C-alpha cells in the first residue's frame, strides 16, 4: 500500500480508447511532469545565477501531482517522465514514484522515467529501480571537472559519475543528454560520445533553446547539430536508425563505437507534426507545446475542488488547443521565444 493508493483514480471512470486527441489529430500519449523548479545546480544555459524560486504553496503537493498524473494516464497517456528543476531534490519524490508505479503494475502505464542531473543519483538509484523505473536520462555536458564546475556554477563532477555508477549497478538503462555549446563543449563532443558509448550508455545531443532570460548569450553558444553531425561524419560512420519516439530526437548508430546517438534539433528542424507530448509544470500549468506561451491552469481547476469529470474535461480542452508548431528562433538580440525557464517547464 503506497500513500496514494487511496487517491481516487480516473482510470476506472474514463475510456482510454477515446484517448487525448488534439485539433490536428495527434494523440497525446506522453506526459512530462516538472516536480519542482528548484535545483542544486545552476547550469548557465538553463538558469540565471540568482534564481528566485517559487513559494511552496504555488508548487503542486505530492497528492496533487499524483492525482493530475493519474488523470492523464486515465486518458491514455502511456509514458510519464518526471523532471524539473532537479526531480531528485524534491522531498517525497520517492513516495510519488512509489505511488505512480501502481499504474505500471496495473498495465495502464508503459514507462515511468526521469531526467536528472545525477548529483543525487547514488542515494536513489536502488529505490528508483525497486519502484519500476527502468531507464533514466542523465544530463552531462562535459567530462572536465573544472569546466563542469563552471558550466553548472559549482557542481562536482565526481557526484554525477558516482550516480551513474550506482544507476548502472541498480540495473537502470542510462542515456546521457548533453547540450551542444560552441564555447564550452563543442570540441570535446566526440570524446564525450565515445566515453558514453564505452560505458554502455546511449547519448543524445541537444541544441540550446531560447527559454527564459539567462546571463549568457545563447546565440554565441548556439551550435547547429547539422554542423555537429557533419563534423562527426568526417571520422565516424553514422547509420540512420528508424527509431522515432514521437519527439524531436533523430537517432543514428555510430558504427565505430556500436552506440546509439540522438540529435534533438528543435531549431534547425521542425518536429511538430508527430508530436505526442505535453508538459505539466510544478505549478500545475499544462503547456501543450514547449516553444509556445499556451497554458492551461490545472492547479486552479484542482484547487477549485473539481471532481474527476471536470478535471478530465479541463485536460481534454487544453489538449484540443495544442498549437500546430513551435515558435523557436535564435536570432541575435531577439527575446527568448518563451519567457519561462526550462527548469519551470521541465526539459
Ligand atoms: N535537472 C535535470 C537535468 O538537468 O537533467 C532535469 C531538468 S533539465 C531542465 C532537463 C534538460 O533540459 C537537461 O538535459 C538540460 O540540459 C536541458 N536544458 C536546460 N535548459 C536548456 C536550454 N535552454 N536549451 C536546451 N536544453 C536545455
Ligand atoms: Fe538544474 Fe537541470 Fe537546469 Fe542544470 S539543466 S540548472 S541541472 S534544472
pLDDT tens per residue across span 160-210: 999 999 999 999 999 999 999 988 888 899 999 999 999 999 999 998 876
Ligand nearest to the CA of 152: 2
Name all domains of the chain by residue range, CATH numbers in brackets: 18-345 (3.20.20.70)
Q: What's the burial of 57, exposed, middle or buried (CB within 10 Å: 0-12/13-18/19+)?
A: exposed
Which ligand 1 atom minimizes the distance to the CA of 114?
6
pLDDT of residue 275: 83
Between the CA of 36 and the centroid of ligand 2 the distance, in Å, is 11
* pLDDT of res. 331: 47
CA of 327 to the centre of ligand 2 (A): 23
Q: How far is the CA of 46 from the centre of ligand 2 (A)?
A: 6
- For residue 179, which atom of ligand 2 is closest to its CA? 5
Report CA(141)–ligand 1 centroid distance (Å): 10
Q: Which atom of ligand 1 is nearest to the CA of 209?
A: 24
Instruction: Measure Cα distances from 248 to 154, 185, 204, 242, 304 in Å.
Output: 30, 21, 11, 13, 35
pLDDT at 332: 44
Residue 325 is predicted with a pLDDT of 74
Cell of 17: 480508447
Instruction: Give 216's DSSP letter.
Output: S
- Say what the pLDDT of residue 272 is: 77
Give the model confidence (pLDDT) of 223-251 as tens digits: 888 889 999 999 999 999 987 666 668 89
* The pLDDT value given to residue 8: 42
Task: Identify whether the C-beta of residue 26 lies closer than 8 Å to the C-beta of residue 322.
Answer: yes
Which of 32, 34, 37, 42 for mutating ligand 2's site (highest number of atoms within 8 Å of CB)? Answer: 42
Would you state the pLDDT for residue 339?
58
User: Which grid coordinates belong to 93?
Assistant: 519524490
- pTM for this predicted structure: 0.89
Cβ atoms of 325 and 272 closer than 8 Å: yes
d(CA 101, CA 111): 9
Report the distance separating Cα 41 and Cα 2, nearest Å.
31
Under DSSP, is residue 62 helix (H, G, I), strand (E, B) or coil? helix
The ligand 2 atom nearest the CA atom of 86: 8
pLDDT the model gives residue 283: 97
- Residues in the chain predicted with pLDDT less than 50, given as ranges, are 1-16, 330-333, 335
Regarding the beta carbon of 296 and ligand 1, being less than 6 Å apart is answered: no
Which ligand places an atom closest to the C-alpha of 40?
A: 2
Per-residue confidence (pLDDT) for residue 319, from 0 to 100: 93
265 lines ligand 1 (CB under 6 A): no
**Ligand 2 center from residue 138 Cα (angstroms):** 11
Residue 118 CA to ligand 2 centre (angstroms): 10
Amino acid at each position: 500500500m503506497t500513500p496514494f493508493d487511496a487517491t481516487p483514480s480516473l482510470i476506472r471512470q474514463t475510456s482510454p480508447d477515446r484517448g487525448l486527441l488534439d485539433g490536428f489529430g495527434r494523440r497525446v500519449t506522453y506526459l512530462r511532469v516538472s516536480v519542482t523548479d528548484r535545483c542544486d545546480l545552476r547550469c548557465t544555459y538553463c538558469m540565471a545565477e540568482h534564481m528566485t524560486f517559487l513559494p511552496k504553496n504555488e508548487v503542486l503537493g505530492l497528492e496533487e501531482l499524483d492525482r493530475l498524473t493519474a488523470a492523464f494516464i486515465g486518458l491514455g497517456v502511456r509514458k510519464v517522465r518526471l523532471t524539473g528543476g532537479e526531480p531528485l531534490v524534491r522531498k517525497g519524490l520517492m513516495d510519488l514514484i512509489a505511488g505512480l508505479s501502481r499504474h505500471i503494475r496495473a498495465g495502464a502505464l508503459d514507462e515511468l522515467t526521469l531526467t536528472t542531473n545525477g548529483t543525487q543519483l547514488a542515494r536513489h538509484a536502488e529505490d528508483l529501480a525497486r519502484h519500476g523505473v527502468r531507464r533514466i536520462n542523465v544530463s552531462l555536458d562535459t567530462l572536465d571537472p573544472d569546466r563542469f564546475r563552471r558550466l553548472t556554477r559549482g557542481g562536482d563532477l565526481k557526484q554525477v559519475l558516482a550516480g551513474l555508477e550506482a544507476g548502472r549497478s541498480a540495473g537502470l538503462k542510462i542515456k546521457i543528454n548533453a547540450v551542444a555549446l560552441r564555447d564550452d563543449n563543442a570540441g570535446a563532443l566526440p570524446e564525450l560520445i565515445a566515453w558514453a558509448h564505452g560505458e554502455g550508455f546511449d547519448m543524445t545531443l541537444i541544441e540550446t533553446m531560447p527559454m527564459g532570460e539567462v546571463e549568457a548569450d545563447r546565440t554565441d553558444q548556439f551550435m547547429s547539430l547539422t554542423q555537429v553531425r557533419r563534423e562527426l561524419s568526417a571520422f565516424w560512420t553514422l547509420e540512420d536508425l528508424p527509431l522515432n519516439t514521437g519527439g524531436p530526437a533523430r537517432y543514428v548508430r555510430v558504427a565505430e563505437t556500436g552506440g546509439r546517438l540522438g540529435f534533438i534539433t528543435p531549431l534547425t528542424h521542425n518536429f511538430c507534426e508527430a508530436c505526442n507530448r505535453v508538459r505539466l509544470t510544478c505549478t500545475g500549468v499544462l503547456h501543450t507545446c514547449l516553444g509556445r506561451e499556451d497554458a492551461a491552469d490545472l492547479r486552479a481547476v484542482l484547487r477549485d475542488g473539481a471532481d474527476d469529470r471536470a478535471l478530465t474535461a479541463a485536460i481534454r480542452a487544453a489538449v484540443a488547443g495544442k498549437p500546430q508548431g513551435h515558435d523557436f528562433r535564435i536570432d541575435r538580440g531577439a527575446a527568448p521565444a518563451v519567457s519561462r525557464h526550462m527548469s519551470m517547464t521541465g526539459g
